[in-house]
Amino acid sequence: MGGRVDLDSPWWRTVVGSTMLAVPLIVLALLVELFMGATEEQVAVNFFISLVAVVGFGVYSGNSGIMSFGHVAFMGIGAYVSALLTMPAAIKATALPNLAPWVQQLELPFVLGLVGVAIVVAIVALLFGIPFARLSVESTSVASFAVLLIVYVVLVASADVTRGSQTFYGVPPDASLPVVVVAAIGAVLVARFFRESTPGLRLRASREDELASRSMGVNVPWLRLWSWVLSAVIAGLAGALLGANLTAFSPKQFYFTLQFTLLAMLVVGGTSTVSGAVGGTFLVSLLLEAARRIEAALYGVVIGPIHLQAFGLQTLTLGLVILVVMYRLRDGLFGLRELDEVVLAWWHRPRSTPSAPPTTPADQAGD
């Protein structure tokens, strides 16, 4: 019975749960690396970067129950900050002649660039998070759009640093497949550990019943603030990876379309679990890739009066996927339980006495 105590410790749950998610991810990466071409590798890199972002969103939304529509803004910040810190000084001199000299001289390695991203994003997230933490749940969701709007406007307006709405180019291509796989597994570990930790548990309890949590002395605004900052930092790192993968981008790429895509991934798998984030990201990535190929195949085809061009099949797919999930499976494909919790429940069932009801973790009973 001593083993059961271990099983319920946050560390153990994190390790088991993350391993169950990491193994298929590594297998997937190896398969792509060994047997597939450059196009598939690019799709896989995109998938892993999306995964970092979606898992990051989940750290806040999944645990607090508050949907954020603004996290892509942190990705934008991450992409630009990382690029500015790591780009060759020569390119900066031509692309951004008005840059402050000390930034222009910097040529940090990618890892240090990521540290810079984490610091900057944490500060920005705090600035927004402090007023947000005291708003009501629905007001926070609505206000999170303000983050997207403000950051977008600032990125476009700060032409000296970002080249404004023009393409920002010359970013070192540091986001290789191994790098993004490691990042994705790291994100899963952090997200899972936060979920199982005491603050994570308290936050999830506040999602079910905020008043009850408050009356038990849980400082809900404080927990929301810290999960907001943590999740923003993960999103910022995902943004840095995305920037390093694209190597050239503009603020528009960190606006509604991306926000919508990543939210669809979160929702399809189920917002409240890390497993859901992983599964949803995988499924939606596949669907998007299929839609992209169909769209490319149909490009320029003329059907009667309609001349097919970019007709937004990817966006339409996302919209319909979300609607189907909302109408049919509110909690997403993975529901409210982590993969390992489902597996463990299944594993334990035959061992319990036949008359006892199947065990379900009490903290997952919320409806």
Partner 1 sequence: MDLVAQQFINALSLGGIYALLALGLAIVFSVMGMVNWAHGEIMTLSGYAMWMVTSQLHAPIVVTFLVAVGTGLVAALAMERIAFRPVRGSSQVTMMFTSFALSITLQVIFQDLISPRPRGVQLPAALSQVIPVFGLRIGIIQVTAFILVLLSLGLLTLFLRRTTIGISMRAASEDFVVARLMGIRADAVIAVAFAISGILAGVAGFLWVAQHGSVQPTTGLTPVIKAFIAAVFGGFGSLPGAVLGGFVLGFIEIMLQAWLPQAALPYTDALSVGIVILILLWRPNGLLGTVTDRA
With CB under 8 A as the contact rule, the residue among 108, 201, 256, 283 that binds partner 1 is 256
**Is residue 291 close enough to count as binding partner 1 by CB under 8 A?**
no
7 binding partner 1? (CB under 8 A): no
Residue 99 engages partner 1 in binding (rule: CB under 8 A)? no
Interaction between residue 219 and partner 1 (CB under 8 A) = no
Q: How many residues bind partner 1 (CB under 8 A)?
A: 43
Among 16, 106, 122, 146, binds partner 1 (CB under 8 A): 146
3-state secondary structure the chain: CHHHHHHCCHHHHHHHHHHHHHHHHHHHHHHHHHHCCHHHHHHHHHHHHHHHHHHHHHHHHHHHCCCCCCHHHHHHHHHHHHHHHHCCHHHHHHHCCCCCHHHHHCCCCHHHHHHHHHHHHHHHHHHHHHHHCCCCHHHHHHHHHHHHHHHHHHHHHCHHHHCCCCCECCCCCCCCHHHHHHHHHHHHHHHHHHHHCHHHHHHHHHHHCHHHHHHCCCCHHHHHHHHHHHHHHHHHHHHHHHHHHHCCECHHHHCHHHHHHHHHHHHHHCCCCHHHHHHHHHHHHHHHHHHHHHHHHHCCCEECCEECCCCCHHHHHHHHHHHHHHHHCCCCCCCCCCHHHHHHHHHHHHHCCCCCCCCCCHHHCCC
Pick the binder of partner 1 from 149, 177, 283, 342 (CB under 8 A): 149
Any contact of residue 69 with partner 1 (CB under 8 A)? yes
In the complex with partner 1, which residue's Cβ is closer, 139 or 166?
Answer: 139
Please report whether residue 315 would count as binding partner 1 according to CB under 8 A.
Answer: yes
**Residue window 166-195: x/- pattern of binding to partner 1, with contact defined by CB under 8 A:** ------------------------------
Considering the complex, state which of residue 137 and residue 218 has its C-beta at the smaller distance from partner 1.
Answer: 137
- Choose, by CB under 8 A, the member of 25, 67, 234, 262 that binds partner 1: 67
Q: Which of 15, 108, 143, 177 binds partner 1 (CB under 8 A)?
A: 143
Nearer CB in complex with partner 1: 27/157: 157
Does the protein bind partner 1 through residue 288 (CB under 8 A)?
no
260 binds partner 1 (CB under 8 A): yes
The single residue among 31, 100, 123, 316 that binds partner 1, judged by CB under 8 A, is 316
Asked if 123 touches partner 1 (CB under 8 A), the answer is no
- String of b and e for 300-313 (b: at least 16 CB within 10 Å)? eeeeeeeeeeeeeb
Which residues are near partner 1 by CB under 8 A? 65, 67, 69, 128, 130-131, 134-139, 141-143, 145-146, 149-151, 153-154, 156-157, 211, 256, 260, 263-264, 267, 271, 311-312, 315-316, 318-320, 322-323, 326-327, 330
